[in-house]
Each structure stands twice: as structure tokens, then as C-alpha cells.
């Protein structure tokens, strides 16, 4: 049965307790080399009778090219163990090079892993160790490495949460190691299913305060902000860009002064939180407010060049709201047309309508704003394309 017509890709281990020779031997041991999913990277032969010399004789029946192809697919326990030893020595040497000798000092790892190149080197070394350990485990020789592997798994998961880095995850760890790693993480009180706390959460500050180093705290706030900008504000490019610029300015102004960086990052986080509390003046927060912010920002810059513009703040807000509603209604109506973005005439028609709306607004008293109307209309089109799905489908 194992020699003729047997094809079970899931089969990974074969136990040989009888002598098989020549072509039958190669055909037999090949039963475990079928591709069987990501968790299976090779098959195992447990030899109870000693077929080593028979294997050599079987290979002699092939020409040199075929023999090399077959030999390249074979490996032996001594080789696998040497690869595990090398992978373990490699990752420990990498950590020691950066002063990381205490696998329980997670904040020390976070501070070093702030350097993305070092973090990436750790990722590669950890994956290599995982592959090597998976090959040898559950042989008793693998047990000597399990304590370090569990500690490194804990570091990998916690660093992934700290830096909001999805590459540092449990994805890709083979099932037999994953079960052991999950059990260890559970015993350590680490739930990999719980997402990192949002910067908008009331408990975020308390969570950050658990760290003992200022750089560690600052790094967590920084990466939490970056994650928020990428994920939560991806449909509001103007707001996203303004906060990204503020973030970059902090690091530019206070290079390596982590106390000041942490302080300024906390201020920026509070500003971001306030966005959710800003008045909407009856506009839809997701659909219309990004356009409102665009027009308000342009008006504020233009008024620096036209300070004598006499409109009162409430009057300017009313004009902005009216402009936003007119522009949004025109954009929404045109976007509902099938194939709008592929149609140059349709886009030109919308641009012409936006120009009419803009010229008819009360901002004709702000010369700088009037001169920039074509650029502003282009930005409206860019924003409309970025928010296409939100405008059409969001509630």
C-alpha cells in the first residue's frame, strides 16, 4: 500500500521496521515528501532496522545528476541538530551584541528594537531558530532549547504590540511549536488575541506608565500615534498629513532628548484625541468634515495674506459649512455614476461645477484664496477619490 498509489500529503513521519532495498526503498521513503501545507516543510523517516547502506546502494543505480537531486533532498539528524545549535547561537549572539542578555527585561529589548534594522535582524533570526527547532522537535535534543525559545516568543509578541509591528507575530509558527508557545504565553498572562490599546482609550496612559524607561514610554506613544494615523485617519489625508508633520517636527527639534520627546508626544496625542470632540456644525464627521477641514485650512492660510477680510468667525464658519455642503453634494452625485474615475469628461464636468460653486461663494473677498481655487479644486478631487468608498457606502 505504501509503494503503489499511496499519496497522502498530510503524512509526515514513516517508521521503517523491515528491510527495503533498491528502487523500492527510494519509493518508500518518498511517501512523506509530498507538499502538505505551510506547517509541513519536510518528512521524517524513523529507521529501526538500519537501511543506511541500502540507501547508498539504491542511489548508485541513478546517474550523477539524478543522484545529486535526490541527495540534496535528504538530511540526517546530526545535520539538523547542528543547524539548530547554529540558529540558537546566532540569535543569542545578536542579542548579546546589543547588550541584551536578560531575556526577562522586556523594556531593554524595546529600547534596542526601536532601531528598525536591529528589530528586523531579530525577526529573521527568530524565524530561522523556529524552523530549525521545528525540524528537531520533539527529539530530546530539542528540549535544551525550549526555555530560551519560549522567552524569545514572549519578547517577539510583546515587541509586536509595543511597536504595532505586524511582522512580529505568531503567524507562521508551525502548529506543534505554536501550541507550546501559546501555552507559555497564557501562563505568563499574555493574550495575543487582545489588540494593543488605542491612543484614544482612557487606559492608554496607564498602560504606558508601566514601563520604567522614558525612551520605552515615548516609543510606545510614538508607534501608537503612527498606527492611529495610518489606520484611523487614512480616509482624511489632510488631517493625517498635519499630524504626521507635527510628529516629525517633534523628533527633528528634540533629537535624542527622550524626556522632552515623551512630553511633546503626549501633547500631540491629546490633540489627536480632541479631533473626535471637535464640533461638526451639522456635517457628517466621516464624509463631510474632511472637506470642511480642507477649506478651513486654506482659508486660514489665505487670511494671513488678507488680514482685512472682515467676516466674523461665526460668519466664516457658516460660509465654510455652506461651501462644504455644496461641494459634497456635487461630489456625491457624480461619484454615483458608474465608471466615474475612468471617465475624463465626467471628471472635467465635476471640476467645472466645483469652480462655479467656489466662485459663487463669499470668499471672493480673499484674493489669495481666489487665485488658488484651481489648486484647491484639485485637492478636492484627490480627497474625493481617496474617500470614494466612504462617501458612497459609509453611514
Chunk the chain into consecutive blocks of 10 residues (it has 395) and report each block's average pLDDT, rounded to whole numbers.
Answer: 66 80 74 74 78 70 64 71 95 97 95 96 96 87 93 95 90 86 91 86 92 94 93 78 92 93 95 84 89 85 64 80 93 93 94 88 68 88 90 85
Q: Are 290 and 234 contacting, i.e. CB atoms less than 8 angstroms apart?
A: no
Closest by Cα among 247, 218, 215 to 230: 247
Cα distances (Å, whole numbers) of residue 96 to 102, 129, 140, 145: 9, 16, 27, 17
Q: What is the pLDDT of residue 309?
A: 59
Closest by Cα among 41, 256, 221, 2 to 137: 41
Q: What is the pLDDT of residue 159?
A: 95
Q: What is the pLDDT of residue 150?
A: 95
Q: What is the pLDDT of residue 329?
A: 95
Asked if residue 282 is part of any domain, the answer here is: no
- If asked whether residues 235 and 250 sit together in one domain, one would say yes
Residue with C-alpha cell 457658516? 318
394: left (phi over 0), alpha (psi -120 to 50) or beta: beta
Q: What is the pLDDT of residue 306?
A: 62
Q: Are 272 and 199 contacting, i.e. CB atoms less than 8 angstroms apart?
A: yes
Q: Are 50 and 56 contacting, i.e. CB atoms less than 8 angstroms apart?
A: no
Range of the domain at 122: 78-187
Q: What is the pLDDT of residue 335?
A: 94
For residue 233 the three cell numbers come to 485617519
- If asked whether residues 211 and 178 sit together in one domain, one would say no
- If asked whether residues 64 and 92 sit together in one domain, one would say no
Asked if residue 280 is part of any domain, the answer here is: no
Asked if residue 5 is part of any domain, the answer here is: no
- If asked whether residues 269 and 355 sit together in one domain, one would say no
Q: What is the pLDDT of residue 214?
A: 94
- If asked whether residues 35 and 134 sit together in one domain, one would say no
Alpha-carbon gap, residue 331 to 194, rounded angstroms: 39
Q: What is the pLDDT of residue 366?
A: 66
Q: What are phi and psi of 15, to 5 degrees?
A: -105, 120
Q: What is the pLDDT of residue 382?
A: 92
- If asked whether residues 98 and 70 sit together in one domain, one would say no
Q: What is the pLDDT of residue 162?
A: 94
- If asked whether residues 92 and 183 sit together in one domain, one would say yes
Total domains in the fold of the chain: 4
User: pTM value?
Assistant: 0.67
For residue 143 the three cell numbers come to 528540549
Q: Sign of dihedral through CA atoms 182, 187, 193, 198? A: negative
Say which DSSP state 365 is in. G
- If asked whether residues 364 and 388 sit together in one domain, one would say yes
- If asked whether residues 102 and 159 sit together in one domain, one would say yes
Closest by Cα among 68, 17, 70 to 45: 17
Asked if residue 3 is part of any domain, the answer here is: no
Domain termination site, one of 74, 96, 125: 74
- If asked whether residues 313 and 389 sit together in one domain, one would say yes
Amino acid at each position: 500500500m505504501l509503494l503503489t498509489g499511496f499519496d497522502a500529503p498530510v503524512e509526515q513521519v514513516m517508521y521503517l521496521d523491515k528491510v527495503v532495498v533498491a528502487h523500492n526503498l527510494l519509493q518508500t521513503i518518498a511517501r512523506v515528501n509530498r507538499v502538505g501545507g505551510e506547517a509541513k516543510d519536510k518528512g521524517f523517516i524513523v529507521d529501526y532496522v538500519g537501511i543506511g547502506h541500502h540507501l547508498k546502494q539504491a542511489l548508485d543505480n541513478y546517474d550523477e545528476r539524478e543522484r545529486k537531486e535526490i541527495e540534496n533532498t535528504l538530511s540526517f539528524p546530526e545535520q539538523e541538530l547542528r543547524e539548530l545549535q547554529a540558529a540558537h547561537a546566532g540569535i543569542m549572539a545578536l542579542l548579546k551584541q546589543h547588550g541584551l542578555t536578560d531575556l526577562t527585561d522586556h523594556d531593554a529589548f524595546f529600547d534596542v528594537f526601536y532601531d528598525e534594522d536591529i528589530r528586523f535582524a531579530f525577526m529573521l533570526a527568530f524565524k530561522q531558530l523556529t524552523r530549525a527547532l521545528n525540524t528537531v522537535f520533539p527529539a530530546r535534543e530539542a528540549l535544551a532549547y525550549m526555555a530560551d525559545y519560549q522567552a524569545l516568543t514572549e519578547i517577539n509578541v510583546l515587541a509586536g504590540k509595543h511597536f504595532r509591528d505586524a511582522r512580529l507575530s505568531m503567524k507562521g509558527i508551525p502548529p506543534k511549536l505554536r501550541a507550546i508557545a501559546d501555552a507559555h504565553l497564557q501562563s505568563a498572562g499574555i493574550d495575543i488575541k487582545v489588540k494593543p490599546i488605542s491612543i484614544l482609550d482612557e487606559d492608554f496612559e496607564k498602560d504606558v506608565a508601566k514601563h520604567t524607561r522614558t525612551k520605552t514610554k515615548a516609543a510606545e506613544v510614538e508607534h501608537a500615534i503612527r498606527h492611529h494615523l495610518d489606520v484611523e485617519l487614512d480616509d482624511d489625508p489632510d488631517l493625517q498629513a498635519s499630524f504626521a508633520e507635527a510628529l516629525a517636527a517633534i523628533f527633528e527639534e528634540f533629537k535624542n532628548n527622550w524626556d522632552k520627546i515623551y512630553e511633546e508626544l503626549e501633547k500631540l496625542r491629546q490633540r489627536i484625541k480632541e479631533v473626535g470632540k471637535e464640533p461638526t456644525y451639522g456635517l457628517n464627521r466621516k464624509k463631510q468634515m474632511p472637506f470642511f477641514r480642507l477649506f478651513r485650512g486654506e482659508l486660514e492660510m489665505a487670511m494671513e495674506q488678507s488680514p482685512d477680510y472682515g467676516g466674523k468667525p461665526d460668519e466664516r464658519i457658516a460660509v465654510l459649512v455652506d461651501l462644504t455642503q455644496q461641494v459634497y453634494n456635487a461630489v456625491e452625485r457624480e461619484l454615483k455614476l458608474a465608471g466615474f474615475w475612468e471617465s475624463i469628461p465626467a471628471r472635467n464636468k465635476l471640476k467645472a461645477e466645483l469652480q462655479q460653486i467656489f466662485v459663487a461663494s463669499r470668499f471672493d473677498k480673499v484674493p489669495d484664496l481666489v487665485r488658488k481655487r484651481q489648486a484647491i479644486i484639485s485637492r478636492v478631487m484627490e480627497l474625493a477619490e481617496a474617500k470614494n468608498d466612504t462617501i458612497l457606502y459609509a453611514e
